[in-house]
A and B are shown apart, each in its own frame.
Chain A
């Protein structure tokens, strides 16, 4: 692996590690640890993005990772929005929990809200950083499905009835949509010689040879499925509710980072299948 690829892997592994760390961090240190973790993640994401954008003439790609200008741009966006989200999260959590007790005699309330929030936020951020970097359509689908699980938990974080409704609707509609997308991916994979994981790399999509009709149906199924995740009409019902009921930092990352990232995957598919 090249240095740039190692840095890209680090940009995903680091927030995942911080997600685990924040599950065991004592409450009194949680804000400081999350801010430090977020800053480190943002810095590394910026470095990966800069390397990809500056080196746009020499994109790198192996079976697992792709480092190109488009991916670099999305990594920059995800990194920046995630960092801002981490920095404003303490203020949001204070508004939900109320001010911390000032008296040394009265202990801080014991609840898992901030711990769960930060852990799931960083896990979501890690998965989101991986999506523009993944070099494989199958891997991209798995990551997007994982973002659904993580972000649904964040949408329903407050536990209020409206948040539960929004989170449930989001979870079911996008999961079904991604199921349809997976059917499209299976049809694409069936038309690529060789099979195996390599058959779904972005470059290998150009070798699709099952005919234009089958290819069109496969791509339409994929786009229809991803449309549910992106929030395109007529499968957009979940979007206004999820974005309004989610915590503000989460709503920002859903709008500014998740949706464009999924759109990037649709674009990569179109670019990959176009020669075929």
Chain B
């Protein structure tokens, strides 16, 4: 019951990330998702390996929060970055894709069906966040939201190795660091983290 509730809180936070425009709010919401995962990992920890996996998630949360905090502080947009789609369309697309994924993917044995649906919903929301945002930082957050869903899936898998959790955490922090470096260079080059400016290669 606790896990199901936390899983749907994760989905709710993902929906909120899709709705907000302010990047500080979006980062706080994604960090909130990571903290929910951390709480779940510690709640379900039974063996030493589980504690190591939970610690890896803690480190991941802290590093990502620090990284995004630094990015926000050091890259001030000189102009407003408008979202690619209006609020209603964004939320509609997120919910629609979530429903499609839930309909397509059969029961797979990740805890209860409700938890599986929450995982698929968060994946869908992350994909839509990345696809509909013009702001580079929002696109990075979309990727992190997708990864958060998959961390939840990994936590629900029986006997998941702490090495896999550690590897996933390391990979995401590395990816976020590289994306952050790109974000900084894009802001320095174009005055804002706006992917609409990255169109010189389009046909």
Contact = CB atoms under 8 A, between A and B. Distances in A.
Interface residues of B, number: 48
A255 to B, nearest CB: 18
Interface of B: 104-110, 123, 126-127, 130, 136, 139, 142-143, 146-147, 149-150, 153-154, 157-161, 163-164, 167-168, 170-171, 174-175, 177-179, 181-182, 185-186, 189-190, 195, 198-201
A176 B130 contact: yes
A164 B157 contact: no
Given A189-B160, A218-B108, 14 more contacts: A139-B167, A142-B164, A142-B167, A148-B175, A161-B189, A165-B199, A166-B201, A169-B198, A175-B175, A180-B127, A210-B108, A214-B107, A217-B104, A245-B201
Question: Which DSSP category, helix, strand, loop or mixed, fits chain B's interface?
Answer: helix
A190 B110 contact: yes
B144 to A, nearest CB: 10
A145 interface: yes
B157 to A, nearest CB: 5
Nearest to A165: B198
B153 A171 contact: no
A165 B133 CA distance: 15
Contact of B195 (A142, A168, A175, A200): A168
A167 to B, nearest CB: 6
A138 B167 contact: yes
A182 interface: yes
B110 A168 contact: no
Contacts of B171: 142, 145-146, 149
A36 B20 CA distance: 52
Interface in A182-223: 182-183, 186-187, 189-191, 194-197, 199-200, 210-211, 213-214, 217-218
A187 B159 contact: no
Contact of A176 (B143, B178, B198): B143
Contacts of B108: 187, 190-191, 210, 214, 218
Interface of A: 138-139, 142, 145-146, 148-149, 152-153, 156, 159, 161-162, 164-169, 171-172, 175-176, 179-180, 182-183, 186-187, 189-191, 194-197, 199-200, 210-211, 213-214, 217-218, 241, 245
Contacts, number: 123
Contacts of B150: 179, 182-183, 186
Contact of B186 (A139, A168, A194, A196): A168
Contact of A162 (B143, B149, B200): B200
Contacts of B157: 186, 189-190, 195
B182 A164 contact: yes
Nearest to A193: B158
